[in-house]
Amino acid sequence: MRTAHAAFSMSLSSDTDVSLLALPAGAYASDDRISVEVDGAPVEWRIERAAHDARELRFTAPAGTLEVDIRTRIASAAGPVDDADPARYLEDSRYVEGSALRGFVDERFGRASGFEQLDAMRSWIARSFTYAPALSAIDDTAVSTLQKRGGMCRDYAHAMIALARAASIPARYVGVYAPGLEPPDFHAVAEVHVDGQWWVIDPTGLAPRGSLIRIATGVDAQETAWATTTGDPVVLESLRVEASDDALPEGAVDDPRERVRIG
């Protein structure tokens, strides 16, 4: 049994439309318990299906202190999340400029292909980058991350996706819950399309990929943000994210060369 829990509070200065990508994707059989309140009063919410079977939690909240608590249990694995046209994930996107890196990729990784080439890219990022949230800025793209040689999981995923796209390998961004991740938080990984299937790559190596729980999938972080609001600015007061997997041995680590799908 896998479980996930996300709880946060925000200060809202006016009526605010809120969209959250914090529920496991609809392909899972899950038991969800959701609480949304402002200053202790319940707020009506709804769930809408989004791309790749993501489930958006949507509501309009009045001014005050918003508190959201989401608890879910995964009863069964999800099926594959495929695309009719993976070529969509070869194009440049808001945070991923693969076309700018074609010369670099050809020079550094051009002697290999397929999984061998992807593993060389993953290994290079893991070896060359410093995992340091202080290095990350909200508007960082893959190119700026490669220049900084560091950041957080979002940045590592964008860099991996950009290198893969530059090598003409479709690659996309996935927001996940990650049992075994320390410290616990929302996590981001890359998926690459090879041999007709999507495989997950995590250059951070921070969590065992076999236990990941898909939340949202897109071209980059712009399509998978865990919280989107409209209206006046909001202030995030607190955020707590936890995930567990009964089948995950204590102290388990990821084997980066193993071929893994998110399920």
DSSP string for 167-229:
TT--EEEEEEE-TT-SS---EEEEEEEETTEEEEE-TT--S-GGG-EEEEEESSGGGT-SEEE
By the 8 A CB rule, do 131 and 149 touch? no
Check residue 231 and give its pLDDT: 87
Check residue 51 and give its pLDDT: 87
CATH 3.10.620.30 domain range(s) in the chain: 86-223
CATH 2.60.40.2250 domain range(s) in the chain: 2-78+227-245
Q: At the topology level of CATH, where does 86-223 sit?
A: C8orf32 fold (3.10.620)
Task: For residue 19, give the H/E element and its range.
Answer: strand 16-20
Cα–Cα dist 5/234, whole Å:
22
Check residue 122 and give its pLDDT: 98
If one looks up domain 2-78+227-245 in CATH, what number appears? 2.60.40.2250
Q: In terms of DSSP bridges, do strands 64-76 and 29-38 run parallel, antiparallel, or are they unpaired?
A: antiparallel
Check residue 166 and give its pLDDT: 98
Check residue 80 and give its pLDDT: 64
* Cβ-proximal residues to 238 (8 Å cutoff; 6+ apart), any chain: 7, 8, 9
CB neighbours of residue 53 within 10 Å: 17
* Cβ-proximal residues to 134 (8 Å cutoff; 6+ apart), any chain: none
Cα–Cα dist 163/233, whole Å:
34
Amino acid at 91: E
Q: How confident is the prediction along the chain (263 residues), in pLDDT tens digits per residue?
A: 999 999 999 999 999 999 999 999 988 888 999 999 999 999 999 999 998 889 999 999 999 999 999 999 997 776 667 676 899 999 999 999 999 999 999 999 999 999 999 999 999 999 999 999 999 999 999 999 999 999 999 999 999 999 999 999 999 999 999 999 999 999 999 999 999 999 999 999 999 999 999 999 999 999 999 999 998 999 999 999 999 999 998 889 999 989 999 98
